[in-house]
């Protein structure tokens, strides 16, 4: 039986439908309604096939190395660097993932709580003093300070030159890769070079210590790591790996924290119930054991990541012709597994636009109906390596807010989401912030 090619339109010459893809959160949903569970389009000058829902996610994510291989937009590939975990594949990817994963094991996470609380204290006090603030840029500094401290041992990273270079670099990650001085990509490319100089100096300073002082951060781990052949990571690879860890430990977390703050402010009944859970645990210290007892907060965080996932999906190159639901997917195309569209699928999540943490309680467990139905951290061989680090940081931050502080959204602001590089309210989430009375 001859398989047919997926339906769909390729859009404009060269750029295809890339602009619509970047600017419309319902890009895939609208086209699935028109074409069905499989459609093709043109993104970044390349034919791209979208597979719908949990089944599509499962097909792509469980066939890595057989039919699919990691792929990123050209701008991301150039700005992350060829030696970063995000671009590595095969044996090298597996080997490096084992090394980097050690920084996110339970024992390491337990050691991060104190530093997270110290940094939280500083920011929470500052926000109380400010009274009214635009929260998103503050949250960016907060998460960058935590990432810098726990990954590379750098204090006050957001205020350092590295932090300023990082801002320009991350702004150009998802952009047209035109390397000119005035383009977002051109600025990001030059900022990457400055970032690598800063990172290299951190590495050399750490290596030069006559009596090394263990900082218990990811940099310590990578400096001492050896691969299967007993070789350490080269200086060039160390720089790329640190850069991708900073991105993974900062950009998406900022989006998740702002989504949490926005959705709780918009749903006072959920907020009140979450506060009650914290009051019931108020006599217990904020450590890993106490955090495990916050079951309703777990449901809230799952629902936040369902409604506003920090990443909308992930690209894969098609490395072998294959067939899915009667359609031919050709070698040389790229595919996209879908997070945002899956999380809004009414066959998985009834009333998907409604913010309802109870959909994740033990009785309903809507995310358990199908594998790959709830995938805020991806899945398969490339599931986010730092997902437990992210969960710890979000949950600890949420617990601190719920126990001690209150906030309300200021009027006359645009709360529609800008989606690139990660979702955030257009006007930056303006709030009035104070201690609980």
Q: Residue positions in the annotated binding site for heme?
A: 384
Helices (H) and strands (E) in the chain, counts: 17, 12
Distance between CA 222 and CA 241 in Å, rounded?
9
175 near 74, Cβ under 8 Å? no
Dihedral angle over CA of 419, 424, 427, 429, nearest 10: 170
228: exposed, middle or buried (C-beta count within 10 Å: 0-12, 13-18, 19+)?
A: exposed
Backbone CA torsion sign across 398, 404, 409, 410 = negative
Q: Could you say which DSSP state residue 295 is in?
A: H
Nearest to 248 by CA among 374, 112, 367, 387: 387
Binding-site residues, in ranges, read 384
Distance between CA 59 and CA 372 in Å, rounded?
10
Nearest to 264 by CA among 308, 311, 312, 294: 308
Distance between CA 415 and CA 72 in Å, rounded?
29
Distance between CA 123 and CA 178 in Å, rounded?
37
Spatial neighbors of 229 by CB under 8 A, at least 6 apart, are none
Distance between CA 430 and CA 411 in Å, rounded?
8
């Amino acid at each position: 039986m001859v398989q047919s090619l997926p339906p769909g339109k390729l859009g404009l010459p060269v750029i295809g439908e890339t602009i619509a893809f970047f600017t419309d959160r319902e890009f895939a949903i609208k086209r699935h309604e028109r074409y069905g569970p499989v459609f093709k389009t043109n993104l970044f000058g390349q034919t791209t096939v979208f597979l719908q829902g949990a089944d599509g996610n499962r097909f792509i994510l469980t066939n890595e190395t057989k039919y699919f291989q990691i792929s990123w937009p050209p701008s991301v590939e150039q700005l992350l660097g060829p030696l970063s975990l995000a671009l590595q594949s095969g044996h090298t990817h597996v080997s490096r993932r084992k090394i980097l994963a050690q920084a996110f094991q339970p024992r390491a996470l337990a050691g991060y709580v104190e530093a997270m609380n110290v940094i939280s204290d500083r920011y929470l006090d500052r926000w109380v003093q400010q009274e009214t603030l635009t929260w998103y840029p503050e949250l960016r500094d907060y998460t960058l300070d935590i990432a810098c401290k726990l990954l590379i041992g750098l204090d006050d990273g957001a205020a350092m030159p590295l932090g300023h270079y990082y801002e320009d670099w991350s702004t150009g990650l998802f952009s047209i890769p035109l390397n000119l001085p005035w383009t977002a990509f051109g600025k990001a490319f030059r900022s990457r070079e400055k970032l690598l100089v800063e990172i290299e100096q951190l590495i050399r300073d750490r290596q030069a210590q006559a009596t090394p002082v263990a900082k218990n951060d990811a940099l310590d781990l990578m400096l001492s790591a050896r691969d299967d052949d007993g070789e350490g990571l080269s200086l060039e690879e160390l720089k790329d790996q640190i850069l991708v860890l900073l991105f993974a430990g900062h950009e998406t977390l900022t989006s998740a924290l702002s989504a949490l703050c926005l959705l709780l402010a918009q749903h006072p009944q959920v907020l009140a119930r979450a506060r009650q859970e914290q009051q019931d645990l108020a006599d217990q210290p904020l450590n890993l054991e106490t955090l495990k007892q916050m079951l309703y907060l777990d449901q809230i965080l799952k629902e936040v990541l369902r409604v506003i996932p920090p990443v909308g999906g992930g690209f894969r190159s098609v490395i072998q012709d294959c067939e899915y639901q009667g359609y031919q997917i050709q070698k040389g195309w790229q595919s996209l597994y879908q997070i945002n569209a899956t999380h809004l699928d009414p066959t998985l999540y009834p009333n998907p636009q409604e913010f309802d943490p109870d959909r994740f309680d033990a009785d309903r467990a809507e995310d358990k109906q199908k594998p790959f139905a709830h995938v805020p951290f991806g899945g398969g061989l490339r599931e986010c390596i730092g997902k437990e680090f992210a969960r710890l940081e979000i949950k600890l931050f949420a617990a601190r807010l719920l126990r001690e502080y209150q906030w309300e959204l200021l009027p006359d602001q645009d709360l529609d989401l800008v989606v690139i590089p990660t979702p955030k309210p257009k006007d930056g989430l303006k709030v009035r912030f104070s201690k609980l009375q």
